[in-house]
C-alpha cells in the first residue's frame, strides 16, 4: 500500500517536473512511470527512470522498414487499396496521409521534392499533384481508412486489414 502511494506521488511529481520545470523543448515524448522504473538507494531517495514510448518496428531494421513503408504507400496511392497485416496498414496509413497533405500544398515545386524523396513512381507523383488538390479540397486529414478483415492469413494466422483511400 505504501509503495503504491509512493509510486502515485512520484508519477504526479514527475509529470509536474517535465511540464513546468523544463518546458516543452526538454522532453517531447510521453513518459511512462512504472513501479519497476522507480529505484531506491541507500539514502531512501527514489530515483525515476522514465521509459519513452516506441513505435512498432515490424521485425525489421530501419532501412528495410523504411523501404517496406515506401512500397506500401506507393501501392496504396497507385491502386487505391491494398490488403496487408494490421500493423503494416496502420503504419502505412500515417505515411499515406502525410503524402496527400504534401500534395495539397500550394507550392507545387516544394511538394514535388518532398514526394520524390519518399515515393518510388515519378508518374504517380505528377498525377497526385494534379488530382489530389481537387479530390480532397474539402477534407483536412483522414484521407485513408483501415478496415480490419475477419479472415486471417494462411501460414502464420496473422490478422489482415484493408488500407484504402477515401473517395471524394
Domain ranges for the chain: 2-52, 62-165
pTM assigned to the model: 0.67
Per-residue pLDDT of the chain (168 residues; tens, 9 = 90+): 666 676 667 776 666 555 555 544 444 444 555 555 555 555 555 555 566 666 688 889 999 999 999 999 999 999 999 999 999 999 999 999 999 999 998 899 999 999 999 998 999 999 999 999 999 999 999 999 999 999 999 999 999 999 999 985
At the topology level of CATH, where does 62-165 sit? 50s Ribosomal Protein L17; Chain: A, (3.90.1030)
How far apart CA 56 and CA 69 sit, in angstroms, is 12
Residue 105: half-sphere exposure toward Cβ, Cα within 13 Å: 15
C-alpha closest to that of 93 among 145, 44, 140, 57: 145
Nearest to 83 by CA among 153, 141, 166, 156: 153
Which run of H or E residues covers position 150?
Answer: strand 144-152
- Per residue in 75-93, pLDDT tens? 999 999 999 999 999 999 9
The CA–CA distances, whole Å, from 137 to 76, 78, 140 equal 19, 19, 8
Amino acid at each position: 500500500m505504501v509503495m503504491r502511494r509512493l509510486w502515485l506521488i512520484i508519477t504526479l511529481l514527475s509529470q509536474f517536473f517535465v511540464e513546468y520545470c523544463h518546458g516543452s523543448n526538454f522532453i517531447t515524448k510521453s513518459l511512462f512511470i512504472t513501479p519497476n522504473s522507480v529505484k531506491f538507494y541507500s539514502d531512501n531517495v527514489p530515483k525515476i527512470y522514465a521509459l519513452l514510448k516506441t513505435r512498432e518496428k515490424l521485425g525489421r531494421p530501419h532501412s528495410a522498414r523504411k523501404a517496406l513503408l515506401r512500397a506500401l504507400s506507393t501501392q496504396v496511392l497507385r491502386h487505391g487499396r491494398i490488403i496487408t497485416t494490421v500493423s503494416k496498414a496502420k503504419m502505412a496509413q500515417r505515411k499515406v496521409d502525410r503524402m496527400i497533405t504534401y500534395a495539397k500544398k500550394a507550392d507545387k515545386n516544394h511538394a514535388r521534392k518532398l514526394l520524390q524523396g519518399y515515393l518510388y513512381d515519378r508518374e504517380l507523383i505528377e498525377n497526385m499533384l494534379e488530382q489530389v488538390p481537387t479530390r480532397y479540397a474539402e477534407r483536412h486529414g483522414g484521407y485513408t481508412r483501415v478496415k480490419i478483415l475477419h479472415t486471417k492469413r494462411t501460414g502464420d494466422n496473422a490478422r489482415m486489414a484493408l488500407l484504402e483511400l477515401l473517395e471524394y
